[in-house]
Each structure stands twice: as structure tokens, then as C-alpha cells.
Amino acid sequence: MHYKKIIPSDIFIIIAYTILTVIFIIVPPLSNTWIRTVLGLPMVLFFPGYALIAALFSKKDDLDGIERIALSFGLSIAVVPLLGLGLNYTPWGIRLIPILVTLVIFTLIMCAITIYRRSELPEGEVFSVPFTAFFASIHEEIFTKPESRVDRILTVILVISIIASVVMLVYVIVTPKQGEKFTEFYILGPGGMADDYPVEFILGDSGTVIVGVVNHEYALINYSLALVLENESLNRNQEIMLAHNETWEQPVTFTPDRAGTDMKLQFLLYMENNFTVPYRDLHLWIDVSEVQYGI
């Protein structure tokens, strides 16, 4: 009686790889490393398709090596978006954890089907991956002259297409996408809300607002904040240096130096010492009255 493995080697590798990928995605210290991306790419681009092919074609004569690899990439690229589309119509939506759980469940179900189907076949008909012989057969299929010259050309084109597609997908996923460049600039009242701004003053009184600057310029930026009352500088420029996605939010106190009604108090934000034109401009309309003394 011949010994038959409960879990085939290729399916065992898929299961182990899936578990390892899940660990590197959900465990906080590991999820911040580049290994997460390296493990995630095959989990998206290859293993779902391979598991599906293994479940559909369990006999070793169903497909040859190059066909299994090509279909594994192709079906992964087709299946993953379909799973994402299905998630879009669920309460969980298209987010990292739901996508991860869906991919893991799909892959493990296909692996379970594969194990069952292979266990029902005679041992001589079961597909298995003797890895050394497998890669040798792929090398032979590509580099050994087939019976037809057309077959050889088509095989080479197929291999080049697969490699090019994988390289492009990896590049698109790994390369950071640079979005629109902009700077958030806002003023809040003393309570941190967009209301209750100090707009009524007696000459000599001071007011405080909270000024916020958020850098989305994809570069280290040197900002300058200036306050101008009726086109005249009210205080000394404040220098603010922020890295990309860094936020500066601080209370800013000012003291109007003249009396008047409906005076324009401007908060001007300059960038990289260019004081010709403000990069961002906010303003409040304030009233400042003279001190009234009783007779």
C-alpha cells in the first residue's frame, strides 16, 4: 500500500504562506515593515488563481507547468477584482481587513477542494509539484525547440507577456501615488470650533484664535504666517516648517492697534519666502472702539 500525503506540498506552501501574510498584515509591529508588501503581492497576484486552478485541474495531465503558471496569474487578476466588487455591496466595504479575510477564505476553500479531489484520484494521476523537476520542465518547454516553430514563438510571447504584466502590477502597487499638492490653512475660535471668533474689541484689548496649517505638498515646506490689519502689518511674521502630511495648529494672539468698524484682519500664509503674493489668505471683519471714560 502506497503512502499518500494528506496535504500536498504545493497546497501546504499556499496555506503556510497565507498564514504568514496574515500575520504580517494584522500584527502592528510587523505590519509597518516592507515585508508586508512583499508578502502581499503574491497573495493578490498569484496564489488565489493557483488555488483555483489546483481545484479545477487536479490531474497531472490536465495542464502542463507553463499553462498552470500563466492561468494562475491570469485568474488571480480576474478573481481578486470580482471579490472586491462583491465586498462593495456588503456592509464591510472595500477595506484592507475585509479584503484580506475574503482572499484568505477563498484561497483556503480552494485548497480544501483540491485536497479532497486529489485524495479521490489514483496516486499515479494526481498532480504534484516536484519542484526541481517542475522548473526543469518549464525550462525545457521554453528553451527546447518544439515540434512547431509557431508553438515556440507563442510560448516565448506568453512568457514575456506574463513577466511584463507582473512587473507593471508590482510597480503600480509599490510606487507611491502622488496626489494633488495643496496646503490646508484654517482659523478656529478660542474653543477650537469654527465659530465664536473674537471680532469686538476695545482699543488695547487682545484676541486669540487658533491657526492651523497642514502640509500636503509632498515636500518639506517653509511657511511664513503674517497678520495684517487694514493693509498694515500687525505682528512679526511667524516661521513654520512642516514636512509632508505634518500639521501645525497653535493659538495666535493679536492686539488691534487702531479703532474702526468693519476692519479687515487678514491672516496671510506665504510659502518658501515668497512674499510677493500670499499662498493662502483668510480674514475676519473686526470692530475696535475707543475707550470711553465716564464724565
pLDDT digits (tens, 9 = 90+) for 267-295: 999 999 888 899 999 999 999 998 754 44
Q: Using the structure block, give the residue that is written with the C-alpha cell 481587513.
A: 97
Q: What's the pLDDT at 103?
A: 92
What's the pLDDT score for residue 142? 58
The pLDDT assigned to 186 comes to 95
Q: Identify the pLDDT of residue 64.
A: 78
Query: How confident is the model over 197-204, as a mean pLDDT?
Result: 92
- The confidence score (pLDDT) of residue 140 equals 64
Task: Write down the mean pLDDT value for the chain.
Answer: 84
Go through the domains of the chain in sequence order and give each one's CATH number: 9-174 (no CATH), 182-289 (2.60.40.10)
Query: What pLDDT shows up at residue 102?
Result: 92
Please tell me what DSSP assigns to residue 262.
E
What average pLDDT does range 70-98 have in this prediction?
86
Asked whether the beta carbons of 99 and 79 are under 8 A apart, the reply is no
Q: 3-state SS string over 92-107?
A: CCCCHHHHHHHHHHHH
Check residue 3 and give its pLDDT: 40
Q: Report the C-alpha gap between 203 and 134 in whole angstroms.
A: 87
Evaluate if residue 213 carries a pLDDT over 90. Answer: yes
pLDDT digits (tens, 9 = 90+) for 101-142: 999 999 999 999 999 988 888 878 888 776 556 566 666 665
Question: Cell digits for 11?
Answer: 497546497
- Residue 285 phi/psi, 5-degree rounding, is -100, 120
Tell whether the model's pLDDT for residue 1 goes beyond 50: no
* pLDDT class of 173 with cuts at 50, 70, 90: low
- pLDDT at position 25 is 87
Q: Across the strands, what pairs with 131?
A: none
Q: What is the mean pLDDT of residues 57-77?
A: 84
Residue 146's pLDDT band, with cuts at 50, 70 and 90, is low
Q: Mean per-residue pLDDT for 88-112?
A: 88
